[in-house]
Amino acid sequence: MSDSQLRTMGQQFGRRSWAEPWKIKMVEPLRMVDREHRERALDEAGFNTFLLKSEDVYIDLLTDSGTSAMSDRQWAGMLLGDEAYAGSRNFYSLEEAVQKYYGYKHIIPTHQGRGAEHLISRAAIKPGQYIAGNMYFTTTRLHQELAGGIFVDVIIDEAHDPQNTHPFKGNVDLEKVEALVRREGAAKIAYISLAGTVNMAGGQPVSMANAKALRAFADKHGIKVYLDATRMVENAFFIQEREEGYANRSVAQILKEFCAYTDGAWMSAKKDSLVNIGGWLAVNDWTLFEELRNMVVVYEGLHTYGGLAGRDMEALAIGIVESVQDDHVRSRIGQVRYLGELLAHWGIPMVLPIGGHAIFLDARAFYRHLRQDQFPAQTLAAELYLDSGIRSMERGIASAGRDPKTGDHYYPKLELTRLTIPRRVYTQAHMDVVAESVRAAYEQRDKTRGLKMVYEPKYLRFFQARFERL
């Protein structure tokens, strides 16, 4: 071998290179627009990346939700759609896949995650009750609050510190739950809301030991545990990688064991399960299931389609099987890690350890001269778009919204800009372009001005809020 300076990624990391366990058979051309066009587009979008037209975006890292590439098998499944109003055979494929891989008894399809959140929140929360959760998620907490519940964050403190490298930063702090139970009494706790790879913490996993301990705690007090299974497959990969005793268990085995410590789950299948639309709700208790099955016909559709077409349910059933393959998860998280390692190597501030679905840039550390109510993370999202047409998402003060009691902004500890990687969509070369753009924004950080909010909708304001430069 010559002593050329060019080295593969694997060589740079001192290992053999790996590659994706698939090849590309259909492509979607991307449109590249110039800086002047981007300035106009961003202005028209009120500096909110949610309001950009997808056509004006080059590399779209807004979300990993519903943005995955389906496989040839899934597309073939679309043609097997049984579009009967009732009892579609695709519902039974879906039910079987959820039972087999997640292990719950009774399944209700929903159009996406928040459809399921709506139903479980209404059925399981009495007004005035508390929900203890390992960090809030926007739609989850909103549905809990709309049902009259009060959300209490019980994630470990490490999760709020971007630099802390705890391997399971998604863990529940049992002492915090215990304190809540002592203060309010177990009857005032509607349930424990446990999420896999906690989104707002940076895609950070929960350990199996924590899930087990939580189960024991919940049993002692007669409290239910419901799981947000949206990215639970990715969580299972981290357990395989990091937790003693799991290195030789498959992702599928770990997933099923973890779910067994919970009483039910809701799912946005648009993430782990590799589909563009879909969700479900699953519980083991028959009485609760009957209530949910009754409610789904009011809000989503009949209990054998829940707002989905037959073809969507088939693609989802196949997506579940593909999603739990070890090779798939390893390369999916490996791509996120590739981008993260480049950025970390260049000293870019971000949440560590690198999470499952995204890189979360620490916007507070980018823009030390901006106050949090000058929207640092929103500013960084705008700057990245201007630099290269990359679309990211604010996950800071704009996303956190306002305290319903006082009307003040919530001031979350984490002020992050998320670069979310869709599954099976972009290549390593795309990741290189993204990394260089982040570096360019970082180099400009001292010259960057913040934003002010000039329009604020009442619910989930970050979706439609508008901003102007200060």
User: Is 338 among the catalytic positions?
Assistant: no
Is-contact 350 360, C-beta < 8 A?
A: yes
User: Is 442 among the catalytic positions?
Assistant: no
DSSP label of 119: H
Please give the Cα distance from 401 to 25 (Å, whole number): 42
Please give the Cα distance from 385 to 40 (Å, whole number): 11
* Cβ-based neighbours of 32, under 8 Å, separated by 6 or more: 58, 389
- How many residues interact with ligand P71 (rule CB under 6 A)? 16
Catalytic pick among 13, 85, 410, 411: 85
Residue window 212-241: x/- pattern of binding to ligand P71, with contact defined by CB under 6 A: ----------------x-x-----------
Measured from the CB atom, the residue of 272 and 445 that comes closer to ligand P71 is: 272
User: Is 173 among the catalytic positions?
Assistant: no
Residue 171 touches ligand P71, criterion: CB under 6 A:
no
User: Is 23 among the catalytic positions?
Assistant: no
Residue window 13-52: x/- pattern of binding to ligand P71, with contact defined by CB under 6 A: ----------------------------------------
Residue from 49, 71, 235, 268 that binds ligand P71 (CB under 6 A)?
Answer: 268
Strand segments, DSSP code E, in 173-317 are: 189-195, 225-228, 264-268, 279-283
Rounded (10°) angle between helices 428-443 and 326-345: 30
- 108: β partners: 281
Is-contact 236 254, C-beta < 8 A?
A: yes
Cis, bond preceding 167 (omega within 30 deg of 0):
no
Residue where the block lists tokens 């550390």: 365
Q: How far is the CB of 459 from ligand P71 (least distance, A)?
A: 11
Residue 112 touches ligand P71, criterion: CB under 6 A:
yes
Residue 139 touches ligand P71, criterion: CB under 6 A:
yes
Measured from the CB atom, the residue of 196 and 340 that comes closer to ligand P71 is: 196
User: Is 305 among the catalytic positions?
Assistant: no
Residue 118 touches ligand P71, criterion: CB under 6 A:
no
Please give the Cα distance from 13 to 10 (Å, whole number): 5
Q: How far is the CB of 372 from ligand P71 (least distance, A)?
A: 19
Would strands 150-153 and 130-133 be described as parallel, antiparallel, or unpaired? parallel
Would strands 189-195 and 225-228 be described as parallel, antiparallel, or unpaired? parallel
Of all residues in this chain, which one has the CB nearest to ligand P71 in the complex?
A: 113
Residue 388 touches ligand P71, criterion: CB under 6 A:
no
Residue from 102, 104, 136, 137 that binds ligand P71 (CB under 6 A)?
Answer: 137
Q: How far is the CB of 199 from ligand P71 (least distance, A)?
A: 4
Q: How far is the CB of 111 from ligand P71 (least distance, A)?
A: 8
Is-contact 359 350, C-beta < 8 A?
A: yes
Measured from the CB atom, the residue of 38 and 270 that comes closer to ligand P71 is: 270
User: Is 271 among the catalytic positions?
Assistant: yes
Q: How far is the CB of 446 from ligand P71 (least distance, A)?
A: 30
User: Is 138 among the catalytic positions?
Assistant: yes
Residue 204 touches ligand P71, criterion: CB under 6 A:
no
Residue from 122, 141, 249, 270 that binds ligand P71 (CB under 6 A)?
Answer: 270
Residue where the block lists tokens 């964050």: 153
Encoded tokens for 247: 């290195």
Residue 401 touches ligand P71, criterion: CB under 6 A:
no
One-letter identity of residue 134: N
Residue from 48, 49, 138, 335 that binds ligand P71 (CB under 6 A)?
Answer: 138
Q: Which positions touch ligand P71 (CB under 6 A)? A: 63, 65, 112-114, 137-140, 195, 199, 228, 230, 268, 270, 279
Q: Which positions are annotated as active-site residues?
A: 85, 137-138, 228, 271, 395, 462
